[in-house]
Amino acid sequence: MKKLTSIIAIAASIAAADGINAQSTEKHTQNPWTLVYDGAITKNEPGKVNIHPVTYKLNGIDIAANVYTPANYDASGKYPAIVVAHPNGGIKEQTAGLYAQRLAEAGYITMAADASYQGASGGEPRHTDNPAYRTEDIRGMADFITKYAGVDANRLGVLGICGGGGYTIKAVQTDKRFKAVATLSMFNTGEVRRNGFQNSQLSTIQERLKQATDARIQMVTTGKIVYAGVSSVKDEDIAKTSTDLYREGFLYYYRTHAHPNSTFLYTMSSLLDLMQWDATTNMELINQPLLMIAGSKADTKYMTEEAFGKAINSQKKELFQVEGATHIQTYWKPEYVNQITSKLNEFFSENLK
């Protein structure tokens, strides 16, 4: 398969991310909480789902999050809660927020947070993508939401989307506060960073590890950060991208749902951790109910299927296929979002009784 060289670029500094702002749809400026998904809350009203921006410390880092409370929320009540882990490159104002809001509409207290070193959360160097940190972010959301007024800590669920799905199945292997686990369009970041998407870069593993090593040396000796990924993309490059994941991903993140806090950049030195990590190791430790959702046309579906097959000790598990959907379409397309939300509500209501 042709190497996906068109989607790998090295940025000399974080200033390369300025291209995102130039291509933004400015949709985020039209919402008081900079939410960019369709149907987003525009004001808090009594008797309806409300949004509450919060911040908290996690290992010394300021985490920015949004908590959604259901209609007629009563702080003295006992509600089931769901935390939502965002995709790679994503933030809480995009699809993670969409599903958090939709699940709040179904009666849950929900939460979407920006990962450490990403989005509006703190941490340096920016855009570090360390799997241990991303897993800890999910545990940190559990720490926060289980102390939130009205939350029943014994009825906590988690939804992980894309890369957040991979980090979610790692977090719940050992953290049994999560009583029900769902993933959507799960993406095994470690496998892809190591082998390339659809195993397209197997021949360059050692070369890329050398680049990551050199990037760390440069960071330590000069303070200069080397970035991998893309900071902006031209229309003609989008059109020429062969895989649905990246072509539609470029459109989602840089056109239709662009946000200045969202970027495909990550530190090159992150590969030192990512390339030795795999979301699907120790899947047998998951004993919670597990729902894994993927589009039937998603070119990432093989990752969900691989992980699902390894979850041999889940109390009950289901692989749910969204007919006709690609990976990115599950983030926003109304007919798919409605179907997915209905399935998630069915799953969580059954398992967070």
Query: What is the arithmetic mean of pLDDT over 216-220?
Result: 97
pLDDT for residue 296 is more than 60:
yes
Number of domains within the chain: 1
pLDDT for residue 231 is more than 90:
no
pLDDT for residue 151 is more than 60:
yes
Q: Residue 63: give the domain boundaries.
A: 8-217+225-267+278-351
Residue 1 covered by a domain? no
Query: What is the arithmetic mean of pLDDT over 108-114?
Result: 98
pLDDT for residue 1 is more than 60:
no
- 259 Cα distance to chain centroid: 15
Query: What is the arithmetic mean of pLDDT over 52-63?
Result: 98
Percent of the chain with pLDDT over 90: 90
Residue 317 covered by a domain? yes
pLDDT for residue 62 is more than 50:
yes
Phi, psi of 159 (to 5 degrees): -125, 125
> What 3-state DSSP class applies to 4?
coil
Residue 273 covered by a domain? no
pLDDT for residue 316 is more than 90:
yes
What's the pLDDT score for residue 25?
52
Residue 3 covered by a domain? no
> What 3-state DSSP class applies to 69?
strand
| pLDDT, tens digit (0-9, with 9 covering 90-100), for 259-291 | 999 998 999 999 999 999 999 999 999 999 999
Closest CA to 159 of 245, 116, 89, 96: 96
Question: Would you place residue 341 in the very low, low, confident or very high pLDDT band (cuts 50, 70, 90)?
Answer: very high
Residue 43 covered by a domain? yes
Strand ranges in the chain using DSSP code E only, listed in sequence order: 50-58, 61-69, 79-85, 109-113, 151-161, 178-184, 227-228, 266-267, 290-295, 317-322
Query: What is the arithmetic mean of pLDDT over 332-339?
Result: 98
What's the pLDDT score for residue 7?
32
Question: Would you place residue 136 in the very low, low, confident or very high pLDDT band (cuts 50, 70, 90)?
Answer: very high
What's the pLDDT score for residue 229?
87
Query: H-type helices in 13-76, by residue range?
Result: 18-23
* Whole-number average pLDDT of the chain: 92
Query: What is the arithmetic mean of pLDDT over 226-242?
Result: 91
What is the reported pTM?
0.92
What's the pLDDT score for residue 230?
83
Query: H-type helices in 233-333, by residue range?
Result: 235-240, 244-251, 271-274, 301-310
Query: What is the arithmetic mean of pLDDT over 209-219?
Result: 97
pLDDT for residue 248 is more than 50:
yes
Residues 6+ apart with CB under 8 A from 41: 33, 35, 49, 50, 51, 68, 101
pLDDT for residue 43 is more than 80:
yes
249 within 8 A of 161, measured Cβ to Cβ: no
Question: Would you place residue 158 in the very low, low, confident or very high pLDDT band (cuts 50, 70, 90)?
Answer: very high
Give the CATH number, domain containing residue 340: 3.40.50.1820
Phi, psi of 227 (to 5 degrees): -115, 145
pLDDT for residue 18 is more than 80:
no
Query: What is the arithmetic mean of pLDDT over 69-95?
Result: 98
What's the pLDDT score for residue 19?
39
Residue 92 covered by a domain? yes
Residue 341 covered by a domain? yes
What's the pLDDT score for residue 61?
98
